[in-house]
Amino acid sequence: MYRFMPEFRLPRIIGHRGAATYAPENTLASLREAKRRGASWVEFDVKLSGDGVPILMHDESLKRTTGLDRLVADTPWAKIARLDAGGWKAPRFAGEGVPTFEAAIACLAEEGLGANVEIKPCPGREAATAVAVVEVLCRSWPAGLPTPLLSSFKDAALAAARDAAPDLPRAILIDELGDDWRRRAEALGAIGVNTNGRRLAAARARAVKAAGFLLSVYTINDPALATDLFALGVDCVITDSPDTIAAATAT
């Protein structure tokens, strides 16, 4: 079993769902496009197919990105594997499939990409999704890649991940930080706070940093806003356009 490094480093920029501006989100093409556009890490969403296979998918329904009007949780992997997850974005991506989490990891290894793995469970599958994600990571995360960061909006998922693999770094995901962010982060043993950069008040950003947490913001495609957020002390910007944000915020 892979042992994760105790030290953890977050990049300044992470490609969101790969590089979602340029390629169909959460596909291998999108991961490769992020690398081509200069990203060293990518974020993507993992949930379980109906029969428990971890796959890259944001929505609970397959409709928006594959055209099939069915819930992911009700659809077996064998059916999802035959869907086109690229044609909706542009004709040149037609035939691009929904990747399994394992296929995505193999792609990361080929490309030399680190990852923020967002555990995105369908309702009621919080713990099962987290346990499946951790199992795949512990079994197959490439030794040459940096330690990945797990994140989730669902505390139950992060708690299950913590219990299954305490040494895998975790970040809480919160759209807008309320007064309870620190209690939640500490209860889950999180090292990071990932939040909506458009709703991040300066005082909250300062409080997160003063408390010693890594602070990441999503989904920032506006270079001016990214610049402002870095100036507030944000460590990492998660963006659909990693090339644009890198060019505008180079240090």
- The answer to whether 167 and 149 are in contact (CB under 8 A) is no
Report what 194 binds from Mg ion, ligand G3P, none; CB cut-off 5-8 Å by kind.
ligand G3P
Closest-CA residue to 219 (of 43, 27, 38, 29): 43
Which one among 30, 40, 151, 241 touches ligand G3P, defined by CB under 6 A? 151
Is 16 one of the catalytic residues? yes
d(CA 4, CA 115): 13
Question: Quick one: what does residue 33 bind among ligand G3P, Mg ion, none, with the CB cut-off 5 to 8 Å set by partner type?
Answer: none
Binding residue (CB under 6 A) for ligand G3P from 33, 45, 126, 235: 45
58 annotated active-site: yes
Return d(Cα 84, Cα 71) in angstroms, integer.
Answer: 16
Encoded tokens for 143:
């030794």
Nearest residue to Mg ion on Cβ basis: 118
Kindly state the smallest distance separating residue 136's Cβ from ligand G3P, in Å.
18
List binders of Mg ion among 115-134 (CB under 5 A): 118
Cβ atoms within 10 A of the Cβ of 191, count?
Answer: 16
Please tell me the distance from the alpha carbon of residue 226 to that of residue 198, in angstroms, as a whole number.
10
Q: Which residues in 189-208 contact ligand G3P (CB under 6 A)?
A: 194
Q: Classify residue 36 by its DSSP letter.
A: H
Residues 66-125 within binding reach of ligand G3P (CB under 6 A): 118
The smaller minimum CB distance to Mg ion, of residues 66 and 116, is found at: 116
Give the strand pairing for 114-119 and 41-48. Answer: parallel
What dihedral do alpha carbons 126, 128, 130, 131 form, nearest 10°? 160
Binding flag, residue 41, ligand G3P (CB under 6 A): no
Nearer to ligand G3P by C-beta: 16 or 35? 16
Q: To 5 degrees, how large is the angle CA 119–CA 106–CA 5? A: 65
Identified catalytic residue from 58, 70, 198, 209: 58
- Residues contributing to the site for ligand G3P (CB under 6 A): 16, 43, 45, 58, 118, 151, 173, 194, 218-219, 238
Which residues are at the interface with Mg ion (CB under 5 A)? 45, 118
Residues with active-site annotation:
16, 58
